[in-house]
Amino acid sequence: MSNPNSLYITTPIYYVNDVPHIGHAYTTVAADVLARYWRLRGRDVFFLTGLDEHGQKVQQAAVKAGIDAQAHCDRLAPQFQELWKRLNISHDAFIRTTDAPHKSAVQRYLQELFNAGLIYKADYTGWYCTFDERFWTEKDVTAGLCPDCKRPVEQLSEHNYFFKMGQYQERLLDHIKQHPDFIRPESRRNEVLGFLTTQTLGDLSISRPKSRLSWGIELPFDKDCVTYVWFDALVNYVSALEYLSKKPAFDEFWPASVHLVGKDILTTHAVYWSTMLMALNLPLPKMIFAHGWWTVNGEKMSKSRGNVVDPHKIIETIGTDAFRHFLFREVPFGQDGDFSQTTMVTILNSDLANGIGNLLSRTLTMIERFANSTIPAAGPPALPELEAKIAAAATSLPGKIEHGFRSLAFRENLQAIWELIGLCDEYIDKAAPWKLAKSPDNLPQLNTVLHTASRALRLISVLLYPYMPHTAGQLAQQLGLSWDFSKPLPQTAYEWGAPFPQAKICKGPGLFPRIETQPQGAKTVSDATIPPQSTAAIPTPAIPAPPPTTAAAPAAPAQITIDDFMKIQLKTAKVISAERVPKSEKLLKLQVSLGEGGEQRQIVAGIGKKYEPEALIGKMIIIVANLKPAKLMGIESQGMVLAAGDSEVRGLATILEDVDPGTKVK
């Protein structure tokens, strides 16, 4: 069994038949965020990524390029390695399935299964998809197309070797039911359970004849065949521990703590890989987490559309840390995300330039002007109620963050950090330290404000490090802290009440300049005493945008009278339950209470990309109560939820005060 302090994190190994894109970056940065957090907390982390270099797609790409398959792989592999450097990925090992020790491991495991009678040879005829490199049965194929990628399939008949996967169906079902965290998120777990309970699991073809495919690992018991690419690729998770770690690490790190995968390869990991491990008498990984896909302005990424997002271009435009932040700030990890240039710029400006960047700039500028560049000790309270609120939020925040990392709630973690940033901004605005500085009598309260803001920034730097390592280092350095983030930090770094030395600050340049995308950006009006972070105009990000339209600009909305407006009945409503509408990424079905004699309504709302259903329960929202019922996806909706946003939902309209459900909104 693995060491309880060890943590083994893997990404999929990526095909080398193309250049890396935002999808590759997303999974790998997610793994890096996890690895950095747990290393900082003192865990012994092994983080593996790498490349899948065998198979028919790679062979065909090499033929098309007119070069040897190995040369093709050697040419493309550095592109992934270079991107990982630019994204500040801290992997411990980078595996390539053309590595000789990996090939030996694959052949050893194949021979073990063959000797155990778990691999047999048989004739097979079926529909084959070259892109997915898998066979499909007659009932799977519709109109001659692969059910997964929708590409044409071809019928093949050949002698193949089969792994007796089917005999492990019930055992796998029992394991999934007994281990709720084995497949995450819950929706993906239900998919696999549904598959295994409604279909008979067949045996898996694990060979390809060399006459059709020569680029692969030769079967140890038949030199005329190579192994199926997925048997080869999946073994990387155990073979890497045998030869890429600094010491024998299998007993320490296996089973893997979390396999991060895209939802398109969940079945191969949850079913193929799990049954292979069962056959080899090896423990199953603790968690397989399948995240969603990225679309671009609502469309699937593809070369033909010309909308494949190049991470290199984004990094060149906004920087590595801003890109890492964007990947997890807007979309719950596990759901599909839509890449929008407008959204990215909005997040950068609001969260980074106006948020953490401005808070640091304001705080250090005040310390520089009012405290001789030294963080002062706290004096008597300046705003007791708000200071207590900040202390309570900061005290509970590390625990919330750890819980978030255990459940891979990356977005929720960032939201919690930014709530503290928002409280600090409110605190500075209300305390108005530039006014306190005008009277010597207010110096003790002024010191409290500067000390409290600095203390919050100290904690924020620690909690931001996994997401934005360079930014966290800058924060700590400018606060005068001598922390080494490459090593575990002491527990006191997470404690609000830990002593804070009167350190000398080292103010540097602003962390994040605003992005002005307009040809003539508006001038920023700064406070005369404490200016916010400066604005910098940089070019519009070179990211694929929707095709231009020749339609005339829309006319201004027609004005309505007060009588027209009074026809609309807006009321508060409390969300009692919420669930996703099947086969829809956007729609949620809400049951809401209007409080009037126990009246309840069912409302279908297009807010599913922004909110998880469980996060809405108990929320007091605003609805249009007299809207004529309509059906969405066959489900009746008895009203409409008010939300802010244009093409994307940015937030729900809610009520600040505690009011009863059913209260009229005027």
Domain match, 343 and 286 both: no
Q: Domains in the chain: how many in total?
A: 3
User: Of the residues 479, 494, 509, which one is the last residue of a structural domain?
Assistant: 494
CA atoms of 443 and 405, how far apart (whole Å): 41
Which DSSP string do the residues of 352-367 spell out, in sequence order? IIIIIIHHHHHHHHHH
Domain match, 281 and 362 both: no
Successive 10-residue mean pLDDT values, the chain, 666 residues? 86 88 95 98 96 90 90 93 97 97 98 98 82 74 83 84 97 97 96 94 93 93 94 96 82 95 95 98 98 86 79 93 94 90 90 94 95 95 96 97 97 97 96 94 97 97 98 96 93 93 89 69 32 36 38 55 78 85 85 77 88 77 89 87 80 78 84
pLDDT of residue 517: 59
Strand, coil or helix: what is 425? helix
CA nearest neighbour of 355 among 435, 434, 400, 419: 419
User: Taking the mean position of all CA atoms in its chain, how far away is CA 159?
Assistant: 42
Q: Is residue 439 part of a domain?
A: yes
User: Of the residues 494, 524, 552, which one is the last residue of a structural domain?
Assistant: 494
Q: Is residue 607 part of a domain?
A: yes
The answer to whether 535 touches 557, Cβ cutoff 8 Å, is no
pLDDT of residue 610: 81
Domain match, 115 and 263 both: yes
DSSP single-letter state for residue 654: B
Domain match, 228 and 360 both: no
Distances (CA, A) of 400 to 411, 602, 616: 12, 32, 19
Domain match, 367 and 254 both: no
CA atoms of 235 and 238, how far apart (whole Å): 6
Domain match, 278 and 344 both: no
The answer to whether 206 touches 228, Cβ cutoff 8 Å, is yes
Strand, coil or helix: what is 483? coil
In the block, tokens 């002593």 appear at 499
Domain match, 387 and 475 both: yes
- Domain range for residue 288? 6-292
44 backbone dihedrals φ, ψ, rounded to 5°: -90, 100
* CATH number assigned to the domain comprising residue 447: 1.10.730.10
The answer to whether 354 touches 493, Cβ cutoff 8 Å, is no
* CATH number assigned to the domain comprising residue 261: 3.40.50.620
* CATH number assigned to the domain comprising residue 655: 2.40.50.140
Q: Which two tokens stand for residue 292?
A: 């969603």
Domain match, 243 and 361 both: no
**H-only helix segments in 330-409:** 341-347, 358-370, 384-406
Strand, coil or helix: what is 384? helix
CA nearest neighbour of 231 among 223, 220, 241: 220
Number of H helices, E strands in the chain: 22, 26
Q: Is residue 360 part of a domain?
A: yes
Domain match, 490 and 596 both: no
Q: Is residue 318 part of a domain?
A: no
Domain match, 114 and 202 both: yes
Distances (CA, A) of 208 to 42, 71, 109, 124, 452: 45, 22, 17, 11, 65
**H-only helix segments in 377-526:** 384-406, 410-431, 433-436, 443-464, 469-478
pLDDT of residue 616: 80
511 backbone dihedrals φ, ψ, rounded to 5°: -70, -45
pLDDT of residue 295: 87
Domain match, 284 and 349 both: no
Q: Is residue 315 part of a domain?
A: no
For residue 554, cis peptide bond before it (omega within 30 degrees of 0): no
User: Of the residues 494, 519, 535, which one is the last residue of a structural domain?
Assistant: 494
Residues 6+ apart with CB under 8 A from 491: none
Domain match, 288 and 346 both: no
Q: Is residue 531 part of a domain?
A: no
Q: Is residue 499 part of a domain?
A: no
Q: Is residue 601 part of a domain?
A: yes
